[in-house]
Structure formats: structure tokens, C-alpha cells
């Protein structure tokens, strides 16, 4: 198990996921359409949560489910994770399927303290981070292309990157 990053802490991942949830909120309301749906997420209504949509994506052998109040990463016959926005915490998730926020038991939420739990947490976190990095790269590529399509001009970040590669200081 040397591939498990021993420095990854639940609080660190919780901060990352908090910021990511804000970015997903912007992706849903993008002027170019819902980027989560464009990425392949299925949008569905959560029973008993009027006006709130949830999103579900199967990635590899895992399931990623997004709600306005939580993220669940589970499946594949291995422990997963659940981030709960109101608590600003990431929990180890042992259920095979997510349940709607507020409809399940807190017993399903495990704070990883023991060495085995921390190892399971870290392995799931590494997988989730791989998907987050792939999504961020996809989003950057798609957003840049959408700006180009809508304006006929390259995005500032694409233009600046080209300029930086071309221009090299003489000192």
C-alpha cells in the first residue's frame, strides 16, 4: 500500500470539495448551457426536495452523485466518500448506493480515524481526485472552445498562453 499518500487529510479534501461545489454551481448556470450535462451527468429531481436537481455520472466502476448539499463517490465494491456541505466534512462511505440528503442515517457517515479507515479514505480520495483533475481539464478545454465559438475570438487564457510561449525575455 505504498501508493497511498499518507499526507492526505480529510480536512484538506473537504476544502477542495467545498470549492469544487461552488464551481459546479457555476457550471450548471453557464451561459453556454449546463456543463455537467454536457460532460455526461444525468440530471434528475430528488424526491422531497422541490426545486433542487441532482446529477449522476458513472465513471469507471464508480458512481459520482452531486446534490446541492453533498457529493457522494461510491461503488465498485470498495469504500467511497461523501462530502456534506453543511458540516464541511468528508466521510468514508460504505454503502453501495447514495441516498438523498436527509433521508438516510448518520450511521452511514464514518469519520476516518483508524489506520484501516484512513487507508480506505485515502485510496478513495486518490480516485476522486483523478476524476476531478480530468473534469477540470475537460472543463478548461470546453470552456475555451465555447468562448471561441460564441465570440469568434480565442479566450484570453488561450491567447496569453500562446503569447507566453512565443515571447521569451532576453535576460
Chain segment 57-109, per-residue pLDDT in tens: 999 999 999 998 899 999 999 999 999 999 999 999 988 888 777 666 677 78
Would you tell me how many other CB atoms lie within 10 Å of the CB of residue 74? 20
Average pLDDT of the chain is 82
Instruction: For residue 62, list its beta bridge partners.
Output: 59
Residues in contact with 56: Cβ distance below 8 Å, sequence separation at least 6, in sequence order: 41, 42, 44, 63, 64, 65, 66
Give the separation between CA 68 and CA 10, rounded to whole angstroms. Answer: 20
Set of cell numbers at residue 38: 454536457
pTM, entire model: 0.78
pLDDT exceeds 90 at position 30: no
Hey, which of 28-32, 85-89, 154-158 has the most confident mean pLDDT?
85-89
pLDDT band at 161, cuts 50/70/90?
low
Amino acid at each position: 500500500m505504498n501508493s497511498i499518500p499518507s499526507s492526505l487529510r480529510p480536512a484538506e479534501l473537504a476544502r477542495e470539495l467545498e470549492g469544487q461545489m461552488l464551481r459546479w454551481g457555476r457550471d450548471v448556470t453557464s451561459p453556454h448551457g449546463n456543463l455537467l450535462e454536457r460532460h455526461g451527468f444525468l440530471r434528475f429531481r430528488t424526491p422531497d426536495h422541490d426545486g433542487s436537481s441532482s446529477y449522476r455520472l458513472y465513471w469507471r466502476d464508480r458512481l459520482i452523485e452531486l446534490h446541492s448539499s453533498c457529493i457522494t463517490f461510491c461503488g465498485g465494491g470498495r469504500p467511497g466518500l461523501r462530502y456534506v456541505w453543511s458540516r464541511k466534512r468528508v466521510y468514508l462511505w460504505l454503502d453501495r448506493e447514495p441516498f438523498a440528503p436527509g433521508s438516510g442515517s448518520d450511521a452511514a457517515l464514518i469519520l476516518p480515524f483508524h489506520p484501516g479507515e484512513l487507508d480506505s479514505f485515502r485510496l478513495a480520495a486518490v480516485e476522486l481526485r483523478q476524476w476531478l483533475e480530468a473534469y477540470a481539464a475537460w472543463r478548461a478545454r470546453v470552456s475555451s472552445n465555447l468562448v471561441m465559438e460564441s465570440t469568434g475570438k480565442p479566450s484570453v487564457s488561450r491567447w496569453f498562453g500562446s503569447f507566453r510561449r512565443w515571447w521569451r525575455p532576453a535576460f
